[in-house]
Amino acid sequence: MRGMVGSIEQVFGMPVRIVSNSGVSLASSSREAPLCAMINEEPAGRRACGAIVSEVKRLRVTSSEGATHGCFTGARYRVVPIEYEGGTIGRAILGPYLPPSVESVPDTLLAIEGIDPARAAELLPHMARATEATAEIVSKHLVAVLDVILWSGHKALLTSKMHIASIRESYRELSEKNAALEQAYERQQELDKLKSNFLATISHELRTPLTSILGYSEMLVGGIAGELTGPQLDFVQIIQAKSDQLLKLIMSLLDLSKLESGTVMMRRSDVAIGVVLAEAASTVAPVATKKGVTLTVDAPGDLPLVLGDPERLRQVFVNLGENAIKFTPPGGTVQMVARQMATEADVSDEPGMVLLAPLRQMVEVRVADTGIGIPEAERDKVFDPFYQVDQSSTREHGGTGLGLSIVKRLVEAHHGTVHIEGHEPTGAVFVVRLPASRPSAPPSKAAISVRFA
């Protein structure tokens, strides 16, 4: 606004001042005219000038045309209202300017005590000059420019207010959602804890009577309570098998709940994978032999060690071996083959040159069977708890759908990966990759090659 009033003074030579309704000066272009400065040097002049200024300030301006007021110097002031949205918000004061009719120092100025007529005559021509018509045009122009400034300023103010309001609203909504999420997260954690406790308690409560059922069945089969007839023996053996199945389910549920809640303790040591594979194979070998499935294990002697829990790793390969035998028809083969491989360390989210990424030594185990295989679309889903590809065929094979989810979690707990590939012409290959132990650890030395048929 200050720039605008300054440029009006420059273009039209007329001083301008803008004041608010309460009389506060908002912008002023006027340097004091030399004649006015001279008058203000005299006490009587100062008083007379002050009286004119307060008359101008109090001037009633009713129409948008404004009003004019004269000064004892012969100069005039034009006062126009500044209106916005139907109300007056301030006024613009143009002047003092001399109309062309004032050619010499008027008597009203000379009548003031202490005024030097010669100096007054010398300074009078330096006052701004304008006709009333010019003053009116300038005031109209000024009002029009002020209108635009006010409108755009007000619009910008409204827009920013709206922005601030919407940001406040979004912030409030976000805070509410955050609080709700935090609450839900805490509740979820509580529920998780409850679930784990519940599972642990229930499993314990189920395991105790189940152990008795298994124990007594064994005694019955062993003939401790007398010789059983053929059908009696069959029935007791069914009780035994089903109780065994139930016990496995309970153990798997317990394992999974512990893995999910992160409460599994791992005893880490340098592990020779070949030895783990041979142990796992010997655990599942009786089932393979009974079914007529050939089971082999091959691991080279220079295989690096893996830093992990041998018991947990054995559980991984027992699960994979059991599945492979379960889904392979008699006459088929299941092979567990270990080898060393190097992969690029994952540097995708790090800055720097990818080409220089260090290679990471891994131990890869492929558990390949010649069974029914797993369709490509199902290969990720089978790692979800309780997921089974074909419920009807698994009913025939038994199983809970928990084995692979436990395998995946255990492998990931060793910072490894597991995925499934197809096997030609038929069958599935489970590929487990585990990071090798520290480079300083010696390789596992003895090569392992086992065959159960």
Q: Closest distance between ligand ADP and the C-beta of residue 317, in Å?
A: 13
275: left (phi over 0), alpha (psi -120 to 50) or beta: alpha
Distance in angstroms (rounded) separating the CA atoms of residues 357 and 169: 47
Of the pair 209, 329, the CB lying nearest ligand ADP is at 329
Secondary structure in 3-state letters for 78-136? EEEEEEECCEEEEEEEEEEEECCCCCCCCHHHHCCCCCCHHHHHHHHHHCCECCHHHHH
- Number of C-alpha atoms within 13 angstroms, CB side, residue 53? 11
Which of 139, 333, 388, 437 binds ligand ADP (CB under 6 A)? It is 388
Name the DSSP letter for residue 372: S
Residue 403 in contact with ligand ADP, rule: CB under 6 A? yes
Stretch that binds ligand ADP, among 194-202, 229-237, 396-404, 440-448 (CB under 6 A): 396-404
Stretch that binds ligand ADP, among 58-66, 101-109, 152-160, 370-378 (CB under 6 A): 370-378
Residue 138 in contact with ligand ADP, rule: CB under 6 A? no
Distance in angstroms (rounded) separating the CA atoms of residues 28 and 19: 9
Residue 365 in contact with ligand ADP, rule: CB under 6 A? no
Q: Closest distance between ligand ADP and the C-beta of residue 378, in Å?
A: 7
Which of 56, 256, 313, 402 binds ligand ADP (CB under 6 A)? It is 402
Secondary structure in 3-state letters for 396-424? HHCCCCCHHHHHHHHHHHCCCEEEEEECC
Residue 394 in contact with ligand ADP, rule: CB under 6 A? yes
- Which 305-344 positions form the footprint of ligand ADP (CB under 6 A)? 323-324, 327
Cα→Cα distances 66→5, 17, 80, 84, Å: 18, 14, 4, 15
Q: Closest distance between ligand ADP and the C-beta of residue 192, in Å?
A: 22
Give residue 76's identity as a one-letter amino acid code: R
Which of 9, 255, 309, 369 binds ligand ADP (CB under 6 A)? It is 369
Stretch that binds ligand ADP, among 85-93, 106-114, 290-298, 393-401 (CB under 6 A): 393-401
Residue 399 in contact with ligand ADP, rule: CB under 6 A? yes
Contact 258, 190 (CB under 8 A): no
Of the pair 428, 448, the CB lying nearest ligand ADP is at 428
Which of 389, 413, 431, 450 binds ligand ADP (CB under 6 A)? It is 389
Residue 87 bridge partners (DSSP): 84
Of the pair 274, 373, the CB lying nearest ligand ADP is at 373
| Cis peptide bond prior to 329, omega within 30° of 0 | no
Distance in angstroms (rounded) separating the CA atoms of residues 284 and 50: 112
Binding site for ligand ADP (CB under 6 A): 323-324, 327, 369, 371-374, 382, 387-390, 394, 399-405, 428
